Amino acid sequence: MKLSEKRIYEMIEKAEEAWARAYAPYSGFQVGASVLGGSGRVYGGCNVENSSFGLTLCAERSALASAVAAGETEIKAVVVFTDTAEPTVPCAACRGVLAEFNSQMIVVMAAKNGIQKRMNLSELLPDPFVLHSEDRKKNKQIK
């Protein structure tokens, strides 16, 4: 899938807005993200830290949750925005969660200084876990 530069810029702006609202009192590492839903809408999210570090919510999953809460199930792209010298890649947990929705999505990593890196999610997570349709049917029968 090809995204226009205008669309990518819009997504970066949304991610930067979310970045400014990140709750990162422990690490001081703010992250903003945005995802592009199948409807064409862009959803933002930020990291939300917790004193019990394992309960911290990453920006990518926050943006994805916003999209899903709005009824989106198709995700075309994600932007990760940080104020670092080099763009920051999504963590392994976020890669796995994003792959659930589209293992081929475009990933744009953008630093506040303007440096960008663009990849396909399959480059960052080449062999994602997939619960195949037969397994899903089987699991539904068990419940």
The residues annotated with a catalytic role in the active site are: 60
Measured in residues, the chain has a length of: 143
Cβ burial, residue 88 (10 Å; 0-12/13-18/19+): middle
Residues 6+ apart with CB under 8 A from 74: 37, 38, 101, 102
Tell me the CA distances in angstroms from 123 to 10, 76, 95, 99, 126, one per residue in order: 24, 15, 10, 11, 5
**Contact yes or no for 36/77 (Cβ under 8 A):** yes
Residues 15, 26: Cα–Cα separation, whole Å: 21
